[in-house]
Each structure stands twice: as C-alpha cells, then as structure tokens.
Amino acid sequence: MSSSAELNSLLAGIRPGDENARVQAQKQWAACAKPLGSLGLLEDALTDMAALTGSARLALTPRTVLVLCADNGVVAQGVSQTGSEVTGIVARALAAGQSNVCRMAALASCRVLPVDMGIRDFAPTPGVYASRIGNGTADMTAGPAMTRSQAEQAILAGMELVRREKEAGTHLLATGEMGIGNTTTATAVTCALLSRTPLELTGRGAGLSDAGLVRKRAAIETALQVNQPDPADPVDVLAKVGGFDIAGLCGVFLGGALYHIPVLVDGAISAVAALCAVRICPAAAAAVFATHQSAEPAGALLLQALGKKPLITAGMRLGEGTGAVAAMPLLDMALAIYQGSTFDDYGMEPYQPQGGQK
C-alpha cells in the first residue's frame, strides 16, 4: 500500500466525539461544589477530553511529551544563531533527562520521549526513538524541502507514535520539537496556510540579530516563491516548505483523533502542525488542546485559526514541549475538583443557572 493510500485509510477511521460523554462530563461539573463554570477554560478542556475519549471517567496519567527532532536544509541560508549540530546535542540531552523539558516534565510526572525524525548524521542513541524519514530536509530555498511521499511518511510516523502510546496505556500526550531552523520552516508553513507575509510573521526564533532576521525573512520569501505551496493541500505545503518534525507532529494530532488521546499543543511550531492536521481532517480538531500562547509573532494567529483558547499566556517560546508540560499541573488541579466534593457531600442545593449569565 502506498503512503498516500495508507494515510487515507487511517483518516477514514477518524470519527466525531462522543456527545453523550460530553453531557455526562457537564453533569459532573454541575454537581461539583463550586459556582457554575468557575474554572472556565479548564472545565471546557476536561469536558472536551471526555467527548474525545468517549468517557466522563477521565484520567490524565500516564502521559508523555513527544519531542520530535529533525534538521532543516534551510539552515544553510544563515537563518539560525547556531548550526545544525545543536539538534543532535539537544536530542542526546533529552535522552539523558538533562534538557529543559525533562526538568519540567519530572515535576509534572510526565515521560519524555525524544524522536529522531531526521537529525542530520545522527547515530542510533539509547533513549531516542528512531523514526527517521531522511537525513534532514533539503534547502527549501532551492526547491521542495522533501518529497510528497516523505511528507506522508512523516505524518504516518506521527500517527504510529500515538498508536504505540495508546497500546502502552498513555492517557495524555504533549507535543514538543527540536530542530535548528524550524521556526523558519514553521513560519513558511504558516504564511502559506494563512496567506500572510514573512514580514508579518517572522520572529527572531532563538535570538537572531537584525541581520539574521533579514536573512530569515528573505529565505522564507524565496522558499514560498520557488515552491508555490498550495494552501488548499496541507501535505503539499509540508512537503515544500515544512520539516520532518512538523509533518510528524501533524500526524500526532491526527493520531490523537484516531486513537482518542488528547494532544496538547505547545507553541507556534506545534500549533501550525495542528492546523495542518485540522486542514487535512477537520474532525481532528477534537484532539487538539491549546496550552499557551507563544510569544512568536504567529502564536496568537495560529490559535485563532484553530479556534482554540490558551490556558496560559506567559510569553513563552522555549520549545521542546515546555509550554504544553507547564499546563499539565493546571489540568491535574481541575481534574481533582472534577473528581472531588459535590453539593450532596456538602448537604446543600446545587447552583442553578440564572438568567443573564454567559
């Protein structure tokens, strides 16, 4: 079976959420001993998770942050402060439990799984899951970053990661990434999907100088002109100006919808992957859960395009899945109340909706 046929077959299995489970979750919230709707977006998140999973009996552990790592040929254009070798260095730090997200994940009782989607010249490493599509992408300023088949293979690889996690009993996933140059590819994909210009959306990434920012914008403009990605075809956009990490993350969101596991969006890179997933299969939106609003210029626009509201607005832009992991304790606290005392336990009448409330 071709990668295209396999992908279409899997996408056909994605179904709408379970509205009965949503109603049961809403009833559970209404019974909680607190003012109606007083946990705001946290209540909405757990209710949406009930609909996705098909059960109002929610669990948020075990959980994993999938950190997809890949290199990008566009780095040759001077769009980053560091060289591609840093991708491999950080991937090894992730495997050793020494990276930024590892420290946060330890506090959030979250497993970290680094995934090699295409780190340049990267040898098999204990603790790094190998799912290589290629030895990094090509320079998108000179032609497509990858073939369409490679883009489809990367999406399928992301879906396969979710299937494996489902079999292992995982109840919650977070999306992370590591790849020097991937704010450049993410911006190019965003420009293509949202019909925006590089001037509007290009940020400094890991801290570019003014000259570096000019080079980055120029590289994105050139890539878009050379490749002419079709905004009506997200796979075409990913293949022409994306990266193996972004395409894989797109697959993770699609896999979340297929296998009924909530997937937490991190920053702008994972958000544009989520947008690709939703453009490919609108029903995949049920598996997409926003955590924070990235400080990258495209951060707010991508969440608006997804129709998702962030739980946190802290000006974060670290990557690796750190923003998604930061939201996990908030969800834990909400779940503690969801599973906690009811009005019956207090011996009092529950709150009732009043006219004029929103």
Q: Which amino acid is at 352?
A: Q
Q: What is d(CA 171, CA 166) in angstroms, rounded to the nearest whole number?
A: 7
Q: How far apart are CA 158 and CA 164, in angstroms?
A: 10
Q: Which two tokens stand for residue 74?
A: 């566009």
- Catalytic, out of 152, 165, 296, 320: 320
CA 322, 178, 106, 328 dihedral sign is positive
Strand residues in the chain grouped as ranges (E): 63-70, 111-118, 129-130, 172-178, 263-264, 288-289
Rounded CA-CA distance 254/267 in Å is: 18
Q: Which amino acid, one-letter code, is at 317?
A: R
Measure Cα distances from 146 to 72, 85, 125 in Å: 10, 20, 24
Work out the number of other CB atoms within 10 angstroms of the CB of residue 20. 13
- Cα of first residue to Cα of last residue in the chain, in angstroms, is 51
Residue closest to 38 by CA, chosen among 350, 287, 321, 278: 350
Structure tokens at 298: 């495209």
Distances (CA, A) of 319 to 21, 286, 292, 316, 356: 33, 23, 11, 8, 41
Active site residue 177: no
| Contact between 36 and 353 (Cβ < 8 Å) | yes
Three-class secondary structure of residue 32 per DSSP: strand
Residue among 102, 98, 21, 16 nearest 55 (CA): 21
Look at the chain and count its residues: 358
State both tokens at 356. Answer: 């004029």
List active site positions: 320
